[in-house]
Chain A
Amino acid sequence: DAGITQSPRYKITETGRQVTLMCHQTWSHSYMFWYRQDLGHGLRLIYYSAAADITDKGEVPDGYVVSRSKTENFPLTLESATRSQTSVYFCASSGTSGEQTQYFGPGTRLLVL
């Protein structure tokens, strides 16, 4: 019972590089989400997806790109990483309704030098 997994768990990269964070869930949940968590801001929604091929912006989408070609995968790409994107990134999923409980992956700690 893998649930929801994220990879890599830790990543160090340099400014200007492209980075892709992976998220995979085994529950066939419709909704998937990407958050970043920073001190003083709590969790902030970057992008979400209500189903395969349907994505929408959250609160802080600038500098990020997502896709969802398969229900179980929801990768997040930083097209040109900046230091301000140093953060902990959490992926989450929830069932058929966006109001349902969200289940989080273990997080990816990203450091941009």
Chain B
Amino acid sequence: RKEVEQDPGPFNVPEGATVAFNCTYSNSASQSFFWYRQDCRKEPKLLMSVYSSGNEDGRFTAQLNRASQYISLLIRDSKLSDSATYLCVVNRISGTYKYIFGTGTRLKVLA
């Protein structure tokens, strides 16, 4: 089983829709969590960090559930420009450095 797992999608949603992605992680020692966005053939860029209490940045909401070991990303009022791959990242530093990327969830927002 992979340490970080995501549904690869694609999620095809109409403009204006709300869409949510989940990401599960297997190591309970994981310390910090992030969502990155990657456009086709480009480098990943930080979308937002994920805090224990949940956090919001405009149309984006991230949540962490340590008990069930998953993080989520909610996108409200989807825009065409939100079409991208969303990477879940789990970080822990115990012995060997670990900054583990999920394989990503692909989102297509349709006009």
Point out residues on A near B: beta carbons under 8 Å. Answer: 33, 35, 40-45, 48, 50, 56-58, 90, 98-99, 101-107
**Tally of B interface residues using CB under 8 Å:** 19
**B43 / chain A contacts, CB cutoff of 8 Å:** 90, 104-107
* Contact between chains at B99 and A98 (CB < 8 Å): yes
Q: Which of B34, B43, B103 has the most CB of A within 10 A?
A: B43
In addition to A35-B101, A102-B46, 10 A-B residue pairs with Cβ atoms within 8 Å of each other are: A41-B103, A48-B97, A58-B96, A90-B43, A98-B93, A99-B31, A99-B93, A101-B49, A103-B46, A104-B43
- Decide yes or no whether B10 CB sits under 8 A from chain A: no
Q: How long is the Cα–Cα vector from A27 to B69 in the complex, in angstroms?
A: 34
Main SS at interface, chain B? strand
Q: How long is the Cα–Cα vector from A44 to B99 in the complex, in angstroms?
A: 9
Q: How long is the Cα–Cα vector from A103 to B44 in the complex, in angstroms?
A: 8
* Contact between chains at A90 and B44 (CB < 8 Å): yes
Checking A40, A44, A56, A90 against B96 with a beta-carbon cut-off of 8 angstroms, the contacting residue is: A56
* Contact between chains at B32 and A42 (CB < 8 Å): no
**B97 / chain A contacts, CB cutoff of 8 Å:** 45, 48, 50, 56, 58, 98
**B87 / chain A contacts, CB cutoff of 8 Å:** 42-43
For B42-72 the 0/1 string (1 means CB < 8 A from A) is 1111100100000000000000000000000
Q: How long is the Cα–Cα vector from A99 to B32 in the complex, in angstroms?
A: 7
Main SS at interface, chain A? strand
- Give 26 pairs: A residue, B residue, CB < 8 Å, sorted on A: A33-B99, A35-B101, A40-B103, A42-B87, A42-B101, A42-B102, A42-B104, A43-B87, A44-B101, A45-B97, A58-B96, A58-B97, A90-B43, A90-B44, A98-B97, A99-B31, A99-B32, A99-B93, A101-B46, A101-B49, A102-B46, A102-B99, A104-B44, A105-B43, A106-B43, A107-B43
Q: How long is the Cα–Cα vector from A90 to B91 in the complex, in angstroms?
A: 18
For B28-39 the 0/1 string (1 means CB < 8 A from A) is 000110100000
**A50 / chain B contacts, CB cutoff of 8 Å:** 97
**B93 / chain A contacts, CB cutoff of 8 Å:** 98-99
